[in-house]
């Protein structure tokens, strides 16, 4: 096989990149290790920045998002019984859109199907070759056959555990990491959301988040111990714990019901540098991970995709490699600011096992300053709605 850009990974970043390239007349092939059903079964965060919404519009995939996405003009932070609202619209003029990442992925697949764009699912043994030459290639096996794709470039959109980052020589790669000493236990339930906006709660018992997907589907999380198992948490125990971590005025509005999904996710901050090696470009989780506080995972992947799309357009349409040469530095400049914000939100709102009284006072002072300072709330809002590309 032959293509211009081989895209490793059929998650939202790879799919979005393929559609943006297609619009510019650039040919690509998407390889995915799992089945489509598996990809669409993954539940991720559900808050979209305007930048990502704009990219979805650019590729003509925003109809359902425009209809079903819920605009949020602000969010609530709580500390015990104290509530503080951050007004995005007042500080930035911009709302965020609540729409599940799973739905974004579904819309991107549907658009690719309409355009007759093929995805190769269930590929195994994906190997990247000659990335530091002018003629890279990708090989994989599928159903016992070995296939090779000759290409000009490889886009590594295959997540934290994918092969792309591992194809960069260890002598070149620098890694930066923080692993947090707790996880998030999340449930999805077919119940009306507790409040019209998200509630991020810090409490003596730990962090909790009240989120939503639509008017009859809610997503809730509580900070849990890394040794906890999903089986340890009955629905009843979850609801009980959630209620104790949020202000009582909100707890009074909680509608509980059976969970339709329950899972535990660890929290990690991670960045690798550089994000380009030869003809390989990393996008999204393949290069960086954020803890979910602030919902930046997909949004920061979308910014990478935007930079890479511009770089490849410049190469193919304008004969300039300036974008390719600056891709890593441009993407990382934004990535680090998003890492900082996600780390800051996580540090502000969670209870750390080794936290002493001084650390607790720092969280309280930070929240008091947010309450009193327009500038502090504006900084939070600016980061939450999304830094410019």
CB of 326 to ligand PHB, least distance (A): 30
The Cα 1–Cα 168 span in angstroms is: 24
- With both helix axes pointing from N to C terminus, report the angle between 297-318 and 322-349 in degrees, rounded to the nearest 10: 170
Judged by CB, which is closer to ligand PHB: 213, or 279? 213
The Cα 144–Cα 301 span in angstroms is: 32
79, 99, 180, 200: the active-site residue: 200
CB of 380 to ligand PHB, least distance (A): 13
Would residue 72 show up in a list of annotated catalytic residues for this protein?
yes
CB of 389 to ligand PHB, least distance (A): 20
12, 72, 180, 195: the active-site residue: 72
Question: What is the torsion angle, in degrees rounded to the nearest 10, for the CA atoms of residue 104, residue 66, residue 24 and residue 300?
Answer: -50
The Cα 128–Cα 8 span in angstroms is: 10
195, 288, 296, 350: the active-site residue: 296
- In b/e form, how buried is each residue of 236-265, taking b as 16+ CB within 10 angstroms? eebbebbbebbbeebeeebebeebeebebe
Coil/strand/helix, residue 361: helix
- Selected from 10, 11, 46, 284, the binder of ligand PHB by CB under 6 A is 46
CB of 198 to ligand PHB, least distance (A): 6
The Cα 223–Cα 214 span in angstroms is: 23
Judged by CB, which is closer to ligand PHB: 21, or 387? 387
Judged by CB, which is closer to ligand PHB: 139, or 263? 263
| Residue 385 in the binding site for ligand PHB (CB under 6 A) | no
Binders in 47-76 for ligand PHB, by CB under 6 A: 47
Question: Would you give the binding string for ligand PHB spanning residues 181-200, x where CB under 6 A is met?
Answer: -----------------x--
Number of residues near ligand PHB (by CB under 6 A): 11
Q: For ligand PHB, which residue has the nearest CB?
A: 211
Name which of 184, 155, 165 is nearest 11 in CA terms. 155
CB of 101 to ligand PHB, least distance (A): 8
Would residue 200 show up in a list of annotated catalytic residues for this protein?
yes
Coil/strand/helix, residue 371: helix
Binders in 289-328 for ligand PHB, by CB under 6 A: 292-295
Binders in 197-236 for ligand PHB, by CB under 6 A: 198, 209, 211, 219
CB of 376 to ligand PHB, least distance (A): 19
HEC secondary structure over 200-249: EEECCCCCEEEEEEECCEEEEEEEECCCCCHHHCCHHHHHHHHHHHCCHH
- Selected from 17, 21, 45, 324, the binder of ligand PHB by CB under 6 A is 45
The Cα 135–Cα 150 span in angstroms is: 7
Question: Would you give the binding string for ligand PHB spanning residues 257-296, x where CB under 6 A is met?
Answer: -----------------------------------xxxx-
Q: List the alpha helices (DSSP H) in the chain.
A: 12-23, 36-41, 50-58, 63-68, 88-92, 101-114, 163-166, 235-245, 248-251, 297-318, 322-349, 357-372, 374-385
Which residue ranges make up the site for ligand PHB (CB under 6 A)? Answer: 45-47, 198, 209, 211, 219, 292-295
Positions marked active-site: 72, 200, 292, 296, 384
């Amino acid at each position: 096989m032959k293509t211009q850009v081989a895209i490793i990974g059929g998650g939202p970043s790879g799919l979005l990149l393929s559609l943006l390239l297609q619009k510019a007349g650039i040919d690509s092939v998407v390889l995915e290790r799992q089945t489509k059903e598996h990809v669409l079964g993954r539940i991720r965060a559900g808050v979209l920045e305007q930048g990502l919404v704009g990219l979805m519009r650019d590729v003509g995939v925003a109809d359902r998002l425009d209809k079903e996405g819920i605009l949020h003009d602000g969010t609530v932070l709580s500390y015990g019984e104290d509530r503080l609202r951050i007004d995005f619209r007042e500080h930035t003029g911009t709302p965020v859109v609540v729409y599940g990442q799973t739905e974004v992925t579904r819309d991107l697949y549907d658009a690719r199907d309409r355009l007759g764009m093929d995805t190769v699912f269930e590929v195994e043994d994906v190997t990247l070759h000659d990335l530091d030459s002018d003629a890279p290639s990708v090989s994989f096996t599928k159903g016992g056959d070995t296939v090779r794709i000759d290409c000009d470039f490889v886009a590594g959109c295959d997540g934290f555990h994918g092969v792309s980052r591992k194809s960069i020589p260890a002598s070149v790669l620098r890694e930066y990491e923080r692993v947090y000493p707790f996880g998030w236990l999340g449930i999805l339930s077919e119940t009306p959301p507790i409040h019209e906006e998200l509630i991020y709660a810090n409490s003596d018992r730990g962090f909790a988040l009240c989120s939503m997907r639509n008017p009859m589907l809610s997503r809730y999380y509580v900070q849990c111990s890394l040794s906890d198992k999903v089986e340890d948490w009955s629905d009843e125990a979850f609801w009980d714990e959630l209620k104790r971590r949020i202000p009582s005025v909100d707890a009074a509005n909680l509608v509980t019901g059976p969970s339709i999904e329950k899972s535990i996710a660890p929290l990690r901050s991670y960045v690798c540098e550089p994000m380009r090696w030869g003809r390989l470009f990393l996008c999204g989780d393949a290069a960086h991970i954020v803890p979910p506080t602030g919902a930046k995972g997909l949004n920061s992947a979308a910014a990478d995709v935007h930079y890479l799309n511009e770089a490849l357009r410049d190469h193919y349409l304008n004969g300039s490699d300036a974008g390719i040469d600056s891709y890593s530095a441009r993407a990382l400049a934004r990535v680090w600011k998003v890492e900082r914000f996600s780390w800051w939100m996580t540090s502000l709102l969670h209870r750390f096992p080794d936290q002493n009284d001084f650390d607790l006072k720092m969280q309280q002072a930070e929240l008091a300053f947010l309450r009193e300072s327009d500038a502090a709330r504006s900084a939070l809002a600016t980061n939450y709605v999304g830094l410019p590309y």
